[in-house]
Structure 1
Amino acid sequence: MSQLIQLKQRIKAIEVIKKITHAMRLISMSSRLKMIKLSENLHFFRDEITPLLCSLESAHSKADQNQSIQKNLIILIASEKGLCGNFNSIILHHFENYLKKIDLENYDFITVGKHAGDYLAKKDISIVARHDKLSPHHLDKTANSLYEFLMKHKNEYATVTCLYNKSKSFFIQQPCEFQLLPVQPQTSCNVQKNIDVEDYHWIQKPEDVIVCIFQSFIKLNVLAILSESIISEQSSRFLSMDSSTRNAENLLKKMNLEYNKIRQTKITKELTELISSF
């Protein structure tokens, strides 16, 4: 009977694991759908503000950047939690290849997500700022912290680049690079939305308006990048938990079948012994 008891305990343990993976699968899909709605709103707002920014830039020349700045900033974005398949390995492998092309002495690093921070710590790479929290609940707080850091130190870096994962499709996540600073709205300007700045009555000075819109543009980009990374993470986690749930179901079928066979064998043996005793 000890064999049956052990098998029954294993079945119960697998049933508990199956419930957990199923719940995580549902949570991942729910979080993903919420983040997709947020991302769509952010992209819509960015698409509306970009033509205005382009028009203001063309109407008023921007201050020249300090060409003597050699320092660059890399923002590496991974996940806060695990159980998301190969999500972290994709972006960290891309980061490894990126490191081969740069001189570390001219770069500072910011990490977003616990796995990114732990990875750079293991490689003994210095980090100027670390944000371990990255989830739908901590999105605004993390984005504000990044934005405030960029606004405070924007004149210290020649470029600021984000490395993160983006969903090519529900099943495929791919690493991306996005230059946050210097802001280059021309690359995403929609020629069909030409805005005449003369149609607007500006109370503030044009330079102040440009600064305000630039800051909004940067914050939108930070939020959009973080939301895209979370969407990719939740997609990977859903696929991982879905696979785990299906594996648990298949294992339960095999173990229940084995349990019933052993139980039936023992019952038959006991009946045979009982009959033979008469």
Structure 2
Amino acid sequence: MDQLLTDTEHTVALNSFYRVGGEHRPATTTDLRITYDSDSLFVVFRCHEDNMSFLTASHEQDWYSLDGSPAGSETSTDVSSPPFPDEVDIFIQPDMGDPLYYHFAATLDGLTFGCERVWASNVDDGKGGNRSVSLSKVNAFEATVTRKTDEWLAFFQIPWKTVGGKPSSYFGLLPVRTRWRNGEFSSPVATDFVEQLPVDLFIETHFTGGSAEQGCQASLCQLSSGLLRWQRPAVVVHPGLETRHQISEMQERLHSPT
């Protein structure tokens, strides 16, 4: 794991994690390294914590019964089930044109999970969000959790054959981290609270060649594969103190009789 974390030449680093919903606060530091060989995909999360002796939380209910979102228990009525457990997740969509994806997770207390899911739709059905129509447990992968002084590491080795073979073209990838102590949910992708799982926001990934995004500063972006995707801000800019005072004064004038 340490070798992967320090190898900048043969790994891809994703270190900019944003809070879900565009919350204008920095996320707790998370370093992510991704690499691969002919047989497997390797993912390492380095999760900073300023107090490793602090209480942690895991899922109190069956992990496989959740809706499939990184914080799937947020829809649960069981108050004993934390909405944001201390967990890291990695999602893999082998074919970005197919709703099938794989979900692998590891918790701070060392529990590991894996499954294959298929979404019914990427469109809100009006009944509380999308639901997966099928689920199969996946055990053919390795995951280990290591606790250190001010951080914890989660290492995943996922054989390509576990996800149907090494992708021959573009595939989707989404890493996320959740923290119980302050209800934090962060990802390199700008996601929203109401999304059960943003399948259409998976990071487009490929093995060779450089990126060729066009119009990436515009609202509509064309990815390397030719796929068009709407951009959204990772951090929502809220009014400053002076602007809020002006709004308050305007509201008072509007409410005052003339």
- The normalised TM-score by structure 2 is 0.26
Kindly indicate whether structure 1 or structure 2 has the higher relative contact order, using CA contacts under 8 Å at least 6 residues apart.
1
- The normalised TM-score by structure 1 is 0.24
Structure having the larger proportion of residues in helix: 1
**Which of 1 and 2 has greater Rg?**
1
